[in-house]
Amino acid sequence: MNVNFLGKQLKSPTVLASGILGNSFDILERVHGAGCGIVTMKSIGPAPRDGHNNPTVIDLGHGLINAVGLPTPGFRHMDEEWEDLEKRDFPLSASIYGGSVSEFVEVAKFVAEKGPDFIELNISCPNSAKHGMLFGTNPESSFDVVSAVKRVTGQIPVIPKLTPQALSIGEIAKACEEAGADALCAINTAGPGMLIDIESRKPILAYKKGGLSGQMIRPIAVRCVYEICQQTTLPVIGLGGVTTGRDAVEMIMAGATLVGVGSAVKSRGIDVFSTITRELAQWLEDHGTTLEEIRGAAHG
Amino acid sequence: MNVNFLGKQLKSPTVLASGILGNSFDILERVHGAGCGIVTMKSIGPAPRDGHNNPTVIDLGHGLINAVGLPTPGFRHMDEEWEDLEKRDFPLSASIYGGSVSEFVEVAKFVAEKGPDFIELNISCPNSAKHGMLFGTNPESSFDVVSAVKRVTGQIPVIPKLTPQALSIGEIAKACEEAGADALCAINTAGPGMLIDIESRKPILAYKKGGLSGQMIRPIAVRCVYEICQQTTLPVIGLGGVTTGRDAVEMIMAGATLVGVGSAVKSRGIDVFSTITRELAQWLEDHGTTLEEIRGAAHG
Amino acid sequence: MEKKPVMLKIDQVQCHNENYATLFFNHGIEFIPGQFVMLWLPEIDEKPYTVSFHSKERFGVTVEAKGRFSQRAVALKPGDLVGVRGPFGNGFSFDAHANVCFVAGGCGIAPLAPMIESVPGSKTIIQGARSDDYLLFKDRFSGSDVHYCTDDGSFGQKGFVTDALADAMANNMFDMVYTCGPEVMMKKVFDLCEANSVRCQISLERYMRCGFGVCGACVCGKERVCVDGPVFESQQIRTLDDFNKKALLKSGKAVTLNDYFSWRSA
Amino acid sequence: MEKKPVMLKIDQVQCHNENYATLFFNHGIEFIPGQFVMLWLPEIDEKPYTVSFHSKERFGVTVEAKGRFSQRAVALKPGDLVGVRGPFGNGFSFDAHANVCFVAGGCGIAPLAPMIESVPGSKTIIQGARSDDYLLFKDRFSGSDVHYCTDDGSFGQKGFVTDALADAMANNMFDMVYTCGPEVMMKKVFDLCEANSVRCQISLERYMRCGFGVCGACVCGKERVCVDGPVFESQQIRTLDDFNKKALLKSGKAVTLNDYFSWRSA
Ligand SMILES: Cc1cc2nc3c(=O)[nH]c(=O)nc-3n(C[C@H](O)[C@H](O)[C@H](O)COP(=O)(O)OP(=O)(O)OC[C@H]3O[C@@H](n4cnc5c(N)ncnc54)[C@H](O)[C@@H]3O)c2cc1C
Ligand SMILES: Cc1cc2nc3c(=O)[nH]c(=O)nc-3n(C[C@H](O)[C@H](O)[C@H](O)COP(=O)(O)OP(=O)(O)OC[C@H]3O[C@@H](n4cnc5c(N)ncnc54)[C@H](O)[C@@H]3O)c2cc1C
Ligand SMILES: Cc1cc2nc3c(=O)[nH]c(=O)nc-3n(C[C@H](O)[C@H](O)[C@H](O)COP(=O)(O)O)c2cc1C
Ligand SMILES: Cc1cc2nc3c(=O)[nH]c(=O)nc-3n(C[C@H](O)[C@H](O)[C@H](O)COP(=O)(O)O)c2cc1C
Ligand code: FES
Ligand code: FES
């Protein structure tokens, strides 16, 4: 099921969500082999960071809650991985974050030289008090970071990743479009939420709060993608709770060009990418239609 | 299980959420009979309003999505109901909303004369473009509406109901406290979300978007109550996804004084109020502790 | 489990007359007679309808064209998609070996029909409508003792079903009377039953939203028609203050039944 | 279904020596030998531990005191609450009627012990530790053919388990060798197996977060230790480039095993 996205030919409209598995070349390659169109690396930050102590990820049954806390070797300390990645034969998106516009720019510039196919800007991670949250909830700061990054990334398409916490995600999307974003990715985790263990009387996540993902956030993600597509004409990677081919259809009807998959790796395994692609293709065939024809159909 | 709340003696720490059942005297009385400590009326607005067409409420399995759209007879057109309610022998909270501070004040003043035990301010309903949303996502407007309402409601305690959509619900809570709120209720529905039917290619809810409630939002509600209790000392009605006595314990450990129950009426029936109360009492007994002792315990 | 509307293709549309049509779906549902489904026409509305035909792999819903939604529903064609949620509600209850009577007014035969078909043994059916043309399912209950009444005498006895019921009661000791139709008619049936110490089950209608007992739109007195009903038994009916008196409009405003059944024509 | 940590009360703490203790819980878990659980000490951390004792209504976890978490774990007392998630992972696999050998280094006996107990028939056990004091479960496998080695000769044979394995292989045709211990030891065991055309199963350790295959913290080559492992068979081990070479730190940085096993002491 070939799809063209920003000039790249993809073998599937599915995208591996950042922070899911994408910690090393070998596993990224495996995910691509499992039918994924674009694999996204775990978000890379300006300086080495361990992230939070465990528990960091808990299965809620209808989704996950996580506060991994943006662990990163730091962009300067990944030489071996960059070397491996240069030899890749699959479309790669490098997700990056920073605590300020200048940090974003510093990371983006360095990463762009490594030649990923796309650069995703994580302006939406809720798990770190300092990093990113502010950018993605405010149109001006979203504009600032995107336009600054665009200046140093040359031909590599830049894809801001948005948060459902924004009061108007459509406005953030518009600001990103005006700043020169090439596409958008929505959504990062929702909430945040908190679990308290009532026996020990303590919050379960070491960071106390964590972002929600998986099936339970799908309605939020669909709404966000729908609103973004009302406000911009950028292609959108629709992400959040997508678990089946039918979910992918829903996301595409909301206006998405590609569908991201994260938490569903838990319930359906790494093959979820080929599974969703197959289910999607089957659905299109059964309904005698195409990806292009159903894209944004719910806006009609 | 007697609890004192703002000077009223309640037979249970459970509260019926606004918009759940509370459409008439008879059913409010039944809910009280089913073990509920405070019954809240469906939000009352300034003018007659039909709300949205159906579908308005859909069961997602792990919660509900709704866009009922604030139907209301309008505060001036409920004479018979006010008459019935005057004869009540149960604690009643009247939920009200308005599209402006002056509408809030108009409704509040009229309703206060009908003598409810509490007045809840719905400054957080996501289902109407005009009504309320702005208030609860902004500390200044929250302050304005609460302080204005407090001026016309005399001795009747005023309880603003907050939305998880606020970027910092703690700040909104503080603004409400400064404006003279007597207690807080959190949370209204989360999201909003959207469902698209992929066969007809249409959003399912007639209003397209709807608020999420029920089990899936519990982590968000717990986090909100926790944050509110970090920022204020007001008593809080913790609401959102509470379904079992253990959920109530979690909410109380986050800092809630009472627990609201809405969507759980679906899965556990109207008796959910006595069921939760019994489960909560049993848990406290099994653990040799009291409501007071566990309140806010997760902050320790 | 998610309970979004499931889009079903209409297999067949049976037009009974210019105002009544039954939509058939080739789809199995778990069903107790008296239960209803929510039908969704995208971009129009979603409304409750009783299941009037039911077999293992097929069911039907009979719609009377009245307003915005139902007029579109009866105009649907085979192949059209309709969203279906449900079934919802409690359904009728039945004691084996009972001698039962069914009293239907107009479209009220819809919920009773699958019940009539599922009840074994001796049963009396009293069915009324304004005229011959409006009498539904005329050959459906052959073998049973069926009495027809029309307001204009164009078919069967001229007069009201309540008169026919009074007659039938004089000759029978019914264990249970099942009735559905205009609320004022059901009230008369119930009063007759009370006077004759016969148990009764009625099927009520109210404006609905959720269908599963949460929103409160459908309350009648302290009962939720969608889950506590739509079927109510004598004991409940006796304490159902709003029966034949009051209903909530879409806005939640409580009005008389007269106002309730005319507001939508505005 | 929600899979939050379940708080379990410690029923018994068995101290094996000053560094090793087993925590017992009276709680039934569905378990395949080789699987692990995540233990949570509120406000401290959550870490993976192999289940080393298992019966229908009880299980135990054996902890070696090394760092911040494990030192607190061995100091726990009966009655203390520990959060438990799991079990996770694939566990060992077994063909009936096989002639098998178990090779354990130090705490590596922990995952093997329930496997040893569940495998019927003839089996050889080679267990090593630095000294007598560190040899776990000494009387547990009586009846089997057990060979002990210690680095200092304080109990059993002086020397390494790999020497004992080479000897055993000379006298036995094993169908499978199960091994757990330091990675460098497992590598030697695996090489011996390869040289002798004997199949092998190893149990790996990596830093973990989710435990269910989503976060990627635990990857070793293209495998996720938490769900694809922790047990790997010869065929997988041959392509597991990072085995005995590379592991990811908490930050995600790939380092040599030497660096990996020392970073936490900093
Ligand atoms: C549990 C339940 C089961 C039902 N089963 C059926 C069924 O099997 N078949 C069927 O045709 N309808 C049934 N109804 C009624 C149905 O849901 C709609 O209310 C009806 O079809 C009118 O909808 P509308 O939008 O077309 O009319 P509207 O636009 O709402 O109103 C049009 C006209 O119809 C009249 N009207 C509206 N609602 C009613 C009512 N409830 N009773 C009498 N007159 C009314 C009004 O006076 C108005 O003039 C049922 C309702 C409930 C609650
Ligand atoms: C699947 C799996 C099963 C495990 N089963 C067990 C078990 O049954 N019993 C048990 O005691 N441990 C087991 N572990 C290891 C355990 O999870 C912890 O890593 C270990 O207890 C050290 O944690 P700590 O926080 O106390 O030490 P840290 O503070 O993390 O480190 C303290 C010291 O221990 C050393 N160290 C840390 N981790 C390891 C390691 N993985 N291997 C060797 N040395 C290490 C470091 O060099 C450091 O000096 C298992 C790990 C995995 C992945
Ligand atoms: C364990 C975990 C770690 C994540 N880490 C990142 C991250 O580093 N950067 C990022 O942009 N998003 C991160 N996310 C968010 C996902 O990329 C995705 O936006 C979110 O999970 C919603 O998609 P899903 O419902 O398909 O999981 C993480 C999510 C999870 C569950
Ligand atoms: C069908 C429905 C209608 C609601 N109507 C109102 C309302 O009128 N006013 C209001 O303040 N909240 C309303 N709510 C929100 C609830 O009061 C409550 O805040 C929310 O459902 C979360 O609680 P829960 O998870 O226990 O349902 C409504 C919720 C539902 C599901
Ligand atoms: S329709 Fe919602 S309670 Fe009956
Ligand atoms: S611990 Fe998360 S993938 Fe293994």
Q: pLDDT for A216-258, tens place per residue?
A: 999 999 999 999 999 999 999 999 999 999 999 999 999 999 9
**Looking at the structure, do residues C183 and C80 belong to the same domain, yes or no?**
no
pLDDT (tens digit, 9 = 90+) per residue, D25-79?
Answer: 999 999 999 999 999 999 999 999 999 999 999 999 999 998 999 999 999 999 9
Position D215 in a domain = yes
Q: Which atom of ligand 5 is nearest to the CA of C213?
A: 3
Examine the fold and report which residue of C175, C203, C231 is the final residue of a domain before the chain moves on: C203
Say if residue A129's pLDDT is above 70: no
A60 lines ligand 3 (CB under 6 A): no
Q: How many CB pairs under 8 A join A and B?
A: 114
Mean pLDDT, rounded, for A24-44: 97
Domain holding D40, by residue range, is 6-88
Strand partners, B259: B14, B238
Q: What integer pLDDT is reported at residue D1 of this predicted model?
A: 72
C-alpha–C-alpha distance, residues D91 and D29, integer Å: 14
- To the nearest whole angstrom, how far is the Cα of A119 from the nearest Cα of chain D? 19
Q: Is D42 on the interface with A (CB under 8 A)?
A: yes
Residues within 6 Å of ligand 1 by CB: C 36, 47-50, 62-64, 66-70, 107, 110, 205-206, 208, 230, 261-262, 264-265
pLDDT (tens digit, 9 = 90+) per residue, D233-257?
Answer: 999 999 998 999 999 999 999 999 9
Say if residue C101's pLDDT is above 80: yes
- Ligand 5 pocket test: pick from C210, C223, C242 the residue with the most ligand atoms within 8 Å of its Cβ: C210
Domain holding B119, by residue range, is 3-299
**Looking at the structure, do residues C96 and C184 belong to the same domain, yes or no?**
yes
The answer for residues whose C-beta is within 8 angstroms of residue A12's C-beta and 6 or more apart is A1, A3, A35, A36, A37, A273, A274, A277
Average pLDDT, chain D: 93
Q: Is B76 on the interface with C (CB under 8 A)?
A: no
- To the nearest whole angstrom, how far is the Cα of A200 from the nearest Cα of chain B? 9
CATH at residue B278: 3.20.20.70
The 3-state secondary structure of A274-296, one letter per residue: HHHHHHHHHHHHHCCCCHHHHCC
Q: Chain B contacts of A300, Cβ < 8 Å?
A: 201
The answer for residues whose C-beta is within 8 angstroms of residue B293's C-beta and 6 or more apart is none
* Smallest CA separation from ligand 3 atom 5, residue: A19
| Lowest-confidence region among A186-190, A244-248, C53-57, D118-122 | D118-122
Interchain proximity B55–C43, CB inside 8 Å:
no
User: In terms of CA atoms, which chain D residue is nearest residue A23?
Assistant: D216
Burial of D244: CB neighbours in 10 Å, binned 0-12, 13-18, 19+: buried
Residue of A214, A211, A209, A294 whose CA lies nearest to A260: A214
User: In terms of CA atoms, which chain B residue is nearest residue C43?
Assistant: B206
Q: What integer pLDDT is reported at residue C266 of this predicted model?
A: 42
Position D1 in a domain = no
**Looking at the structure, do residues D182 and D213 belong to the same domain, yes or no?**
no
B125 catalytic residue (yes or no): yes
Q: Structural domain tally of chain B?
A: 1
Say if residue C76's pLDDT is above 70: yes
Average pLDDT, chain A: 95
Mean pLDDT, rounded, for D135-150: 88
Would you place residue D266 in the very low, low, confident or very high pLDDT band (cuts 50, 70, 90)? very low
Interchain proximity D40–A74, CB inside 8 Å:
no
Interchain proximity C248–B23, CB inside 8 Å:
yes
Q: Structural domain tally of chain C?
A: 3
Report the length, in residues, of chain D.
266
Say if residue C265's pLDDT is above 50: no
The mean pLDDT values, 10 residues at a time, for chain B of 300 residues are: 95 98 94 98 95 97 96 94 93 95 95 97 70 77 96 97 94 97 97 97 97 98 98 98 98 98 98 98 98 96
Q: What integer pLDDT is reported at residue B133 of this predicted model?
A: 54
**Looking at the structure, do residues C191 and C104 belong to the same domain, yes or no?**
yes
C-alpha–C-alpha distance, residues A238 and A250, integer Å: 10
Q: Which atom of ligand 1 is nearest to the CA of C71?
A: 26
Contact flag for C and D (3+ C-beta pairs < 8 Å): no
Mean pLDDT, rounded, for A73-95: 94
Q: From the CA of A263, which ligand is nearest?
A: 3
Interchain proximity C248–B26, CB inside 8 Å:
no
For the CA atoms of B98, B99, B102, B108, the dihedral, rounded to the nearest 10 degrees, stands at 0
Q: Is A160 on the interface with D (CB under 8 A)?
A: no
Mean pLDDT, rounded, for D159-163: 93
Q: Is B62 on the interface with A (CB under 8 A)?
A: yes
Single-letter residue type at A167: L
Position C257 in a domain = yes
Question: A226: helix, coil or strand?
Answer: helix
C-alpha–C-alpha distance, residues B164 and B189, integer Å: 7
**Which of C2, C81, C252 is opposite residue B72, by nearest beta carbon?**
C252
Residue with the bigger pLDDT between D18 and B139: it is: B139
A188 lines ligand 3 (CB under 6 A): yes
ipTM over 0.90: yes
**Looking at the structure, do residues D102 and D147 belong to the same domain, yes or no?**
yes
Q: Locate tokens 């969507």: which residue?
A: B263
CATH at residue C168: 3.40.50.80
D22 lines ligand 2 (CB under 6 A): no
pLDDT (tens digit, 9 = 90+) per residue, C140-156?
Answer: 987 788 999 999 999 99
Interchain proximity C214–B57, CB inside 8 Å:
yes
Contact B53, B206 (CB under 8 A): yes
User: In terms of CA atoms, which chain A residue is nearest residue B213?
Assistant: A216
Provide the token pair at D261.
Answer: 């096993």
C-alpha–C-alpha distance, residues D157 and C72, integer Å: 89
Say if residue C172's pLDDT is above 50: yes
Q: What is the DSSP string of C154-207?
A: SSSEES-HHHHHHHHHHH---SEEEEES-HHHHHHHHHHHHHTT-EEEEE----
Interchain proximity D7–A197, CB inside 8 Å:
yes
Examine the fold and report which residue of D185, D203, D221 is the final residue of a domain before the chain moves on: D203
Q: Is A253 on the interface with B (CB under 8 A)?
A: yes
**Looking at the structure, do residues D74 and D121 belong to the same domain, yes or no?**
no
Q: Is the dihedral of CA A245, A247, A249, A252 positive or negative?
A: negative
- To the nearest whole angstrom, how far is the Cα of A259 from the nearest Cα of chain B? 15
Q: What integer pLDDT is reported at residue A126 of this predicted model?
A: 60
On the CB side of B120, CA atoms within 13 Å amount to: 30
Provide the token pair at B167.
Answer: 């970027």
Q: Locate tokens 């009972």: which residue?
A: C98
The answer for residues whose C-beta is within 8 angstroms of residue A229's C-beta and 6 or more apart is A236, A254, A255, A256, A296, A299
Tell me which long-range contacts B101-104 makes (C-beta under 8 A, separation of at least 24). B101/B144, B101/B145, B101/B148, B102/B148, B103/B45, B103/B46, B104/B145, B104/B148, B104/B149
Contact A96, A110 (CB under 8 A): no
Mean pLDDT, rounded, for A56-85: 95
- To the nearest whole angstrom, how far is the Cα of C70 from the nearest Cα of chain B? 14
Say if residue D23's pLDDT is above 70: yes
**Looking at the structure, do residues C197 and C140 belong to the same domain, yes or no?**
yes
**Looking at the structure, do residues D39 and D132 belong to the same domain, yes or no?**
no
Position C126 in a domain = yes
Q: Is A208 on the interface with D (CB under 8 A)?
A: no
Position D255 in a domain = yes
**Looking at the structure, do residues C64 and C100 belong to the same domain, yes or no?**
no
Q: What integer pLDDT is reported at residue D154 of this predicted model?
A: 92
* Smallest CA separation from ligand 4 atom 13, residue: B19
Say if residue A127's pLDDT is above 60: no
Examine the fold and report which residue of D178, D203, D228 is the final residue of a domain before the chain moves on: D203
Residues 79-108 of C with CB under 8 A from B: 81, 83, 85
**Looking at the structure, do residues D16 and D80 belong to the same domain, yes or no?**
yes
D266 lines ligand 2 (CB under 6 A): no
Position C1 in a domain = no
Mean pLDDT, rounded, for D113-129: 91
C215 lines ligand 5 (CB under 6 A): yes
Q: What integer pLDDT is reported at residue C262 of this predicted model?
A: 76
